[in-house]
Amino acid sequence: MTKYNKNTLSRVDKFFERLSEKYNITISELDCVAYVTQEPVPFSDRLSGEKKVLRIGDHWGDLFDCAWFCFSTKLPEEYAREELALLIDVSGEGLVYDQHDGPVLGLTNGSIAYEYGSIRKHVLPLELCTISDGNLQVWVDAGCNDLFGHYIDSGDLKEAYLVRRLPHMRAFYYDFFVLRDALNNLGADTPRYAAILKALNDSINIIYDFTEAEALAARLVLKKEIEKKGGDPSLTITAIGHAHVDLAWLWPIRETVRKGARTFATVIQMMKRYPDYKFGASQPQLLAWMKDYYPQLFAKIKGLVKEGRFELQGAMWVEADTNLTGGESLVRQIIYGARFWKEEFGVEVDNIWLPDVFGYSGALPQIMQKSGLRYFMTQKLSWNEHNPFPYHTFNWKGIDDSEVLVHMLPEETYNSPASPTSIRLVEKNFHEKGVSDQALVLFGIGDGGGGPGTYHLEKLQRLKNFADFSPVKQRFAKDFFHDIDSNTAEYPTWKGELYFENHRGTLTSEAKNKMYNRRMEQSLRELEFASVLAEKYLGLPYPQEMLDTVWKEVLLYQFHDILPGSSIRRVYVESVARYEILDGEISERIHSVYEQLANGLTAFNSLSFEREEYIKAEGKWYLASLPAMGHAKLTQIAETSPCLLVGEHDLENEHLRVTFAEDGSITSIF
């Protein structure tokens, strides 16, 4: 790089640091009152919390505290309303709420690595506020935590301003951003690099007072480089908006419900501003919460699905762990998930969507194929440290040779910043380039970051066919999968488990949750078996509604941060308490049904193979021979009771002798 280029690039970078602060001009501070509670309350109870009158810099809450904020001001007459907006930052997350229209927009603050892009969503356009006789008022349902559940900025009110917006200056900022980022991905000795660098430098020479007229003139200087087109592509990138939301992780489940509302409200507002924008959401559980808690928002989502703007992804009820979850539960995940999409939206999905799960069972292809699912999307295996996974687009054969088509995101993130750097990472990383001419990108911020924002969508407008980079099309992931399904014989094949090297401790941590999960899986199957017999022989109604309700809660706790044990303590305190209640209720129902079925002393075998067991009843030992999935009266009294010998270091019956060391570990099983 020449000395001229180095000096000019330094000038460009210093200018860009200043530019990000120049497209909003502060007019005045807003009045603010907060009503603080420890747990969320609905809009109708918004005044029930502790009242706090706040100025910028005042403390309002501790970690996971909640509050309804009321911001208000008198609008100045000298500005047109379309020029004005609010800047709001409560050191956490917030949901702008209208008493008639429900959720309006999500607000987010926090910190995240730069490569994932800006997460701040703190601009509230005036058209989303209630205004009467020049007086503005807006209500915000806030949580004192950032998107990762962190406590930031000491729970203070950081921003509450009325500002004047400069749309040409903002547009100039994104032109400048895209071109500057392109330089990071072009050779310094290429003509394209030199042309972009000169254009950026020339545009700086126009800006003195950061006025709208200057911004308009500066954009004309950059226009040629922004609008340069690419040629015939060797790779085309499908981009779909995404907001991966962990249903519990560094926050409790109740906060996830609110995170979902913030995210989807933001999606709706962004779609009004960006006609090309398409967004996808997985996890029916999250949408079911929207239906229950935010019905107005849910109705708007249904409308966007019908319009072809909002994609429903993944057939599983939640993005579940697949290492510890039983096979029956994995099938149930698909049954309940696919049924919800079909019944609520009239949509049938054909994929499993698990970007963040900690490894994938070799049984999944068989389960998927028998469920009519053809495609699998993931990303997590790119985190392997010692054995990098060798493919991005490949055929996955399960343990029985069932086969599905897989795409693993080449950018190696599901939080793409949608920048020229993103495109170059895909081009560089994609293992199957030359075999496949298409790759998938998920752009946006998850876990409460509100998904894609202006930061992402402005750049994508400029990157549709940006010279020297692969073109980017916003479209549904299902269309991408259908397109790459045409030449599967050329893709590599992987057989068996997709093993994830990191997070191995999740196989053993939080053992109580794991115990209850397995107990519930077994108990629910037992109750279903008993209920079938009771319906057949006694005419008792099958408890379908109750079983569906309990199954869905058990499936929720199989989420890939809950069951594996990677969530905060509160998640386990609350889920174990629920498990105990569910376990007790199901056990009582099993006992009650079997009591009604029994005619005298009767043993039941719900397993799929014959069993011979010693059973003690009414002080006597019986040796029961039971058919598969059947029952029998206890009539054959055992000639001898089952042998059980207990020594200082061993246990023994007629089948096994187990010997223990002094520390309690097993030394032998014979």
Query: What is d(CA 326, CA 554) in angstroms, rounded to the nearest whole number?
Result: 12
Segment 460-472 shows an average pLDDT of 98
Average pLDDT, the chain: 95
Segment 171-180 shows an average pLDDT of 97
Segment 377-396 shows an average pLDDT of 96
pLDDT of residue 320: 98
Burial 208-237 (b: 16+ CB within 10 A, else e): eebeeebbeebbebbeebbeeeeeeeebeb
Max mean pLDDT among 442-451, 468-477, 615-624 falls in: 468-477
- Name the residue with higher pLDDT: 449 or 489: 489
pLDDT of residue 405: 98
Per-residue pLDDT tens for 495-528? 999 999 988 888 899 999 999 999 999 999 999 9
pLDDT of residue 110: 60
pLDDT of residue 6: 85
Query: What is d(CA 508, CA 99) in angstroms, rounded to the nearest whole number?
Result: 46
Q: Residue 335: CB partners within 8 Å, gap ≥ 6?
A: none
Query: What is d(CA 448, CA 244) in angstroms, rounded to the nearest whole number?
Result: 9
pLDDT of residue 623: 87
pLDDT of residue 644: 83
Q: Smallest Cα–Cα separation from 372: which of 336, 404, 399? A: 404
pLDDT of residue 1: 58
Check pLDDT > 70 for residue 578.
yes
Check pLDDT > 90 for residue 302.
yes
Q: Per-residue DSSP letters for 435-503?
A: TBSEEEEEESB-TTS-BS-HHHHHHHHH-TTBTTS--EEE--HHHHHHHHTT-GGGS-EEES-B---S-
pLDDT of residue 113: 46
CB atoms within 10 A of CB 430: 23
Query: What is d(CA 37, CA 35) in angstroms, rounded to the nearest whole number?
Result: 7
The one-letter amino acid code at 293 reads Y
| Lookup: tokens for 120 | 């701040």
**Strand intervals (E) in 144-286:** 159-165, 236-241, 279-281
Query: What is d(CA 19, CA 176) in angstroms, rounded to the nearest whole number?
Result: 9
Query: What is d(CA 650, CA 657) in angstroms, rounded to the nearest whole number?
Result: 7
Per-residue pLDDT tens for 246-267? 999 999 999 999 999 999 999 9
Check pLDDT > 90 for residue 213.
yes
Check pLDDT > 50 for residue 465.
yes
| Lookup: tokens for 70 | 């009321």
pLDDT of residue 448: 85
The set of catalytic residues is 356
What is the number of alpha carbons within 13 Å of residue 83 lying toward its C-beta? Answer: 12
Segment 148-159 shows an average pLDDT of 88
Q: Would you report the helix, strand and coil content of the chain in percent, each value rounded to 5?
A: 40, 25, 40
Query: What is d(CA 165, CA 635) in angstroms, rounded to the nearest whole number?
Result: 86
| Lookup: tokens for 33 | 């009152």
Q: Residue 511: CB partners within 8 Å, gap ≥ 6?
A: none
| Lookup: tokens for 570 | 């509160």
pLDDT of residue 487: 87
Check pLDDT > 90 for residue 641.
no
Segment 291-311 shows an average pLDDT of 98
Q: Smallest Cα–Cα separation from 303: which of 266, 344, 353, 262? A: 344
Q: Residue 553: CB partners within 8 Å, gap ≥ 6?
A: 578, 582
pLDDT of residue 432: 98
pLDDT of residue 657: 95
Which residue(s) pair with 652 in the sheet?
Answer: 645, 657
Query: What is d(CA 533, CA 542) in angstroms, rounded to the nearest whole number?
Result: 9
Beta carbons of 212 and 23 less than 8 angstroms apart? no
Q: Smallest Cα–Cα separation from 24: which of 168, 118, 163? A: 163
Segment 388-407 shows an average pLDDT of 97
pLDDT of residue 116: 46
pLDDT of residue 284: 98
pLDDT of residue 419: 96
At residue 115 the predicted structure's pLDDT band, cuts being 50, 70 and 90, is very low
Query: What is d(CA 472, CA 439) in angstroms, rounded to the nearest whole number?
Result: 10
Per-residue pLDDT tens for 22-76? 999 999 999 999 999 999 999 999 999 999 999 999 999 999 999 999 999 999 9
CB atoms within 10 A of CB 117: 22
The one-letter amino acid code at 56 reads I
pLDDT of residue 4: 64
Per-residue pLDDT tens for 142-151? 999 988 888 8
